[in-house]
Every structure is written in C-alpha cells, then in structure tokens.
Amino acid sequence: MGNLLISEGKKMKVRAHILVSGRVQGVFFRSQTKHTADNHDVKGWVRNLPDGRLEAVFEGEQDAVQKLIDFCKRGPSGARVTNIDLNWQTYTGTTNRFKIKY
C-alpha cells in the first residue's frame, strides 16, 4: 500500500473505495453499513447506483476499515453479495462523519 497509508501514532489510517454487486438494494444495506461505520468510527459515505450496485468510501484506522469491508462482503440479512471491487486510495482525512448519499 505504500503511500496509501497514513501513520498517526501506532494506528494506520487508510481509505477504501468499494463497489458491491448482487442483491444489495432494498435490503437495508446502506443503513446497516452506516450503523457499522458509526460503531467503528469509520468516516465516508455509501450510496446506491442506478445499475443496482452499492458504492462506498471508508476512511479510518486500518482494522476498522477492514471490518467494514468484511461486513460488505456478506451484507445484512436479505442481501446476496456476488462480487466486491476494492480499490485502496490515498487517505485524505477530509470526511468528518459517515453519511448515506441519496
């Protein structure tokens, strides 16, 4: 990951952009993602895409962001995740909360 990580003390800060495919709309995926992000102090956003996928950006401590990615691999009950495209990006720290985009 090289320069994609920012060190603050002993904690590494990361940014992940994901696209989730499958049955991911109409199953409370966005609200459960926000709830999980808030519980792990992860910042960023999540939204539905017109093509049926879910898109999200997560920023925070590496372990916490990984927990969000792991959640998105399975989703809430009712979801059926068939694929996740994960792209690690440079941490920006510009987001101060997690929000659902409409």
Does residue 82 fall inside a structural domain?
Answer: yes
30 is catalytic: yes
Pairing between strand 11-23 and 54-61?
antiparallel
Query: In which domain, by residue range, is 61 found?
Result: 2-94
Catalytic pick from 3, 15, 47, 48? 48
Distance set, CA 59 to CA 3, 38, 56, 72, 81 (Å): 15, 12, 10, 15, 22
Q: For residue 7, what pLDDT band results from cuts at 50, 70 and 90?
A: low
Residue of 3, 15, 30, 80 with catalytic role: 30
Residue 17 included in any domain: yes
Task: Say how many domains are in the chain.
Answer: 1
Q: Is 83 a catalytic residue?
A: no
Write the pLDDT tens digit of every residue in 54-98.
999 999 999 999 999 999 999 999 999 999 999 999 999 988 999
pTM: 0.89
CATH number at residue 22: 3.30.70.100
**What gap in Å lies between CA 72 and CA 6, rounded to an integer?**
23
